[in-house]
Structure formats: C-alpha cells, structure tokens
Amino acid sequence: MVILLAALAIPALTGTALILTGRDSVRASEANANLVSLVASIATAALVVATVVTRPKVDYQWLPSLGVRWQFSVDGISAPLLILTAALGIAVVVHARSYPPHGGSPTTFYGCLQLVELGALATFLSRDAVVFFLSFEIVLIPMWVLISRFGDSHDLPARADASGRFVLYTVLGSTLMLVGILALVHSAGTANLDELAKLRGAGLDRSAQMVIAALLLVGLGIKIPMWPFHTWLPPAHTIAPTAGSVLLAAILLKMGTYGIVRLVIAPLPIGFGALAPVFAAAGVVGILWGGLACLVENDLKRLIAYSSVAHMGFVVLGLSSGTTVGLQAALFANIAHGVVSALLFFLVGGLKERWGSADLATARAALREVSPRLGLALVVGFAASLG
C-alpha cells in the first residue's frame, strides 16, 4: 500500500513544488528543474514497477453519503498502461534536457509534466468512478498550460486556436462524463468500478442504460478522440511542444479508451450493446477519414495526429465488438500506438527543433543530406505505424 501511495505522492509533490517555485528563468534553474524532475520520474517508475509486481490495494473512506472511496489497485488491464506512463515520464524529461522548453518558466514546464504523469497514473489505478473522473481532470489543466504557454512561439494565433479548442472540447467531454458517472453511481448505489461491473446495470432498463452509455461514450469519445470529435487533436499536436505531443498521443488518448472499458462496457452491457453498431461505424469512418487526411497532409506532426485518429478507430472497432478477443486486440493496439506515436513525435520533434519546420519538403532534404540516421529511424517508426 505504501508503495502505491508513494508512486502517486512523488509526482504530486514534485509537480506542485516546481510550479510554486517556478518564477526564475535563469539557466541554472532550468538544469535544476530538469534534474529534480528526472530523479522524481525515475523514482516514480521504480515504484510503479513495484506496484505492478506486488499488486497492493488502497481503500480509504472519503464521501460515505455518496459511497465514494479512495480506492486504488492494479489489474491486467491497467498494468501495461501504468508501465507505459512511467517509462514515457522519464523519456520526456530526458528529451527536454536536449531540447529545453521555450516560452515560459522551465520549472513550470517540468511541474506540468509531473502533474500530467500524476493524473494518468491515478486514472489507471483508480477503482472508484468519481475518483477516476477527478484523476482524469487533473491531466487537463497542465496539458493546456503545455500547449498554451510552451507551444510553437512562431505562430501565436495558431497556438491560441489550438489551446482554445483543447479547452472547449475537453470541458464538453468532461461535462458529459460527469453527468453519466453521477447517473450511473446514483442508480447503482456504489461508485466502486468492480461492483459496478458485477451489477451489470441491474435496476436500469434498456433505455436508461442507453442514455447513460451514450453520455459516457460521447464524453470519452471526445477524449480519445474518435470521429467526428477529433478536430481538436491535429491543431493541438501541431502546436504542442514535443513532450506535450508525446504525452497527449501516448497517454491521454489511452485514458479515453480505458474509461470506456471501465465505465461503459462492463457496467452497462445492455446499453453498450445497443449502441455498439453506431460506435463501430464511427470507428470505421475514423479509420478512413484519418487515412485519407494523411495522404494530403504536408506537416509531419499533423500527419501523425491524423494517423492517431485512424489508429484509435481500430481500437474503437475492437471495443465495439464486445468480445474477449476484440477487447484484447483493442487493448494491445492501445499500447502499440502509445509506443509508436511516442517514437514518431520524439523524432519529428527533434527534426523541428533542428530545422525549424516539420514540413515534408524540409524533412526530405534534411534527412537525405544531413541526418540519414534520423531518416532511417523515421522510416522504422512509420513502418511500425503502418503495422
């Protein structure tokens, strides 16, 4: 139990401390912030691995009148996502050491990275629906800061547009999620995700299950994002710093699909089954839409963003099957996309930092004549993305 709590406490305390002390922009403070963040990320990763191995459980009463408790534990679904989050938490800090943040206090930047990691870990560990929602929301504010303050400084109007879209869409998704979660918890009399899965919507007729499932599917669909709620993702990826793009693609999108498994498929099987054909159709359109958009896109970061829409369409399609094989395939694709998208954004981010552009024309000349090894790595990354 202590190990699990420590895995959450380290990024929480480190992130808060860095942000509260983040007014000094001297180069020395940047190096110190990077070192502190790196040590914290390594310690968190070690504790996460220990948590996955030992499988401790945390259960503290919080709001007894609502049946809400601080409940955290690990299972086979959350374990690989926890490992992925911890590994990328280290990777983004190491990358930022070579490519320092621009546009704001470095301590604020590293503090936001720690808080994003905290929110993601708490989301994957949570076994209470209300705590799951609160953990999910922890991620959104520091991610908005990364986009709005540390995004591409060469195009301020685009940065304002990207951060504005991110806020608009995520707030809408969060509102629908909250309404759906409260309705589910109220009807079941418990917020425990394991108990909700066992109840399987008992006490709710088909129509009620469909309404709650629709609220949660749309709210989480915005977070994934699945077609047609994807329009905030390409601008956010284009403008975000490399660390932000990596965490957004590899971690935040996975939180949405993970939420569908925990909050919809298991607790509301009848409602989800009724909506599954529509959900599957949206996944198929997302696959086609994302693929066609990639064919005409010249900016590599936007190209990866649209490919993510297509990849998440495959995940949505697997989830919509409602079968064990389909769920396993979707969860496996989730992890694969997290690894591949992180690799691609690191490589393209390095290219943009060196050459000032992620345009295909610039990349073609730079990779052929100056950085052939980077070009080879990109070829491998895109081949992995193709599957």
46-to-38, 41, 82, 361 alpha-carbon distances in Å: 12, 9, 11, 42
Total domains present in the chain: 1
What tokens appear for 50 in the block?
Answer: 């220990």
252-to-26, 27, 121, 137 alpha-carbon distances in Å: 31, 30, 11, 11
Q: So what's the pLDDT on residue 155?
A: 66
Exposure b/e, 49-84, CB count within 10 A at least 16 = b: bebbeeebebeeeeeeeebbbbbbbbeeebbbbbbb
| Residue 272 near residue 142 (C-beta atoms within 8 A) | no
Q: So what's the pLDDT on residue 28?
A: 45
Expressed as residue numbers, the domain containing 352 is 2-386
Q: So what's the pLDDT on residue 357?
A: 65
The pLDDT tens digits of the residues spanning 275-329 come to 989 989 998 999 998 888 888 888 888 888 888 889 888 999 888 887 888 888 8
User: How open is the CA angle 58-64-66, to the nearest 5 degrees?
Assistant: 110
CA distance 294 to 292: 5
Q: So what's the pLDDT on residue 25?
A: 47
Helices 300-321, 372-386: axis angle to 10 degrees equals: 20
Residues in contact with 182: Cβ distance below 8 Å, sequence separation at least 6, in sequence order: none
What tokens appear for 361 in the block?
Answer: 């024309």
Question: Which residue ranges of the chain lie beneath pLDDT 70?
Answer: 22-28, 153-155, 355-358, 361-371, 387
